[in-house]
Structure 1
């Protein structure tokens, strides 16, 4: 599935469908393909928006969770979105949390899946090993319950990133920023209805992390999916979409019929 990438000022994004905005934030190694099934399912009833986060394009000073949250805020302001259903996976969830805490007024609901912000198992102190393809492949496989989902295309993409010294420095900077930015004491301030979707076999943000988010975010509900790792919307899209559908349908104003 290919999408038209739009650009306005410095922001690149896709926008599909009509209705209330459903804004998706990808993770550290995320891409549009991560959300393909989700976009196709929800664009029939929502305006699905995916900004391409400049994870490796910001200067090193702004290569942080808060720097990316500032980028998302600027994008939302420029586009004039309101009543946003904000969804983030992994680092994208962390960015969504920081944005919601700083600018809650335009966020109608929050969905987190495999989010950092409390605890995450990183790639390890030695990551990324430049030039070690098998090492990168094994790390990619850890993202999923089914390691076959770490396709050659995905591993090749990660490997290419890790052969660039400056990109490696920025990846490490983002990973360290995520660890430093622990939001535990602030999560009680989130008032939006919050959906937590977690893989029961997530080894990067294990199930206890989802339970902790549920405990700390007042108006939250938690769903676990079996045989699923760190990226449920990729690994089990039908189950993920069904849970998200049920959550959003309780909050969404229906799109007016043309009949």
Structure 2
């Protein structure tokens, strides 16, 4: 069963939440492209998990309070929400910006709510030798070339995008700039803090990602206390869209090898 509803996190912060499936709780966090980019991922997980997939505040026309100005604010809000719901043994899966949010949640999770992490082409850390591509400086053609393996298939000519859709994309990008624009797409302290995260962390990376390269992903994985890294061929920044079968197989294998958390 699949439901969409609004839920209140604070007096001035409510979330649009998509909920589906049953079983172990899984929080699925989208990147800058919005919730549609992780819909297939959420559907796959819902076969075996109770999936919660929020729309980040400020995306797709949703409200964002003035105080929510960073990914750390978003991470704390989601972590508190999981605790308010009384959820335990949670797997958090995040794509791109959502992966950064998941990592920020993990370093703040003193209650042991999160027991598994899956980061898919995540941003969020600074790797000196592998700078993050400036998303805001790319035009539509450049974004397709840097983000996708098959850029010809996924390129969207702005002239063919309906005005309402283009306005929504621009609004989403403006929200992303507020949350992640300065410092650009990273938390300067996050990389060194990841060593204290002792839950299993799976990092999946598209081989052709030129927004954050596989070398960046490997450094990210190495920073975790228990990080594992896998490259997915013929995929870019969103491997779960370009190569869903390969992505889901690695995800399923990772989740199947876990030791159940104590009740």
For the criterion TM > 0.5, the same-fold answer is yes
The alpha carbon displacement at 1:181 in A equals: 1.0
Q: 2:53 aligned with 1:46, yes or no?
A: no
Partner of 1:34: 37
The alpha carbon displacement at 1:208 in A equals: 0.8
Q: 2:215 aligned with 1:192, yes or no?
A: no
The question of whether the paired residues in 1 share the 8 Å contact of 2:28 and 2:42 is answered with: no
Among candidates 8, 18, 22, match of residue 18 of structure 1: 22
Alignment RMSD: 2.7
Q: SS at the partner of 1:97?
A: helix
Q: SS at the partner of 1:112?
A: strand
Distance 1:179 1:35 in 2: 19
Deviates further, 187-196 or 65-74: 65-74
Deviates further, 106-115 or 208-217: 208-217
Query: What TM-score comes out, normalization by structure 2 length?
Result: 0.82
The question of whether the paired residues in 1 share the 8 Å contact of 2:123 and 2:186 is answered with: no
Distance 2:27 2:226 in 1: 20
Partner of 2:101: 95
Partner of 2:181: 176
Q: SS at the partner of 2:229?
A: strand
Structure 1 regions of 5+ residues with no counterpart? 128-134, 254-259
The alpha carbon displacement at 1:60 in A equals: 4.3
Query: What TM-score comes out, normalization by structure 1 length?
Result: 0.83
Partner of 1:68: 74
The alpha carbon displacement at 1:78 in A equals: 3.0
Distance 1:19 1:41 in 2: 13
The question of whether the paired residues in 2 share the 8 Å contact of 1:200 and 1:229 is answered with: yes
Structure 2 regions of 5+ residues with no counterpart? 9-13, 127-131
Q: Write the mapping of 1:94-173 to structure 2, written as runs, cut at 5 A.
A: 94-104=100-110, 105-119=112-126, 120-124=132-136, 126=137, 135-136=139-140, 138-140=142-144, 142-147=146-151, 148-150=153-155, 159-161=166-168, 169-173=174-178
Distance 2:166 2:30 in 1: 19
Q: SS at the partner of 2:27?
A: strand
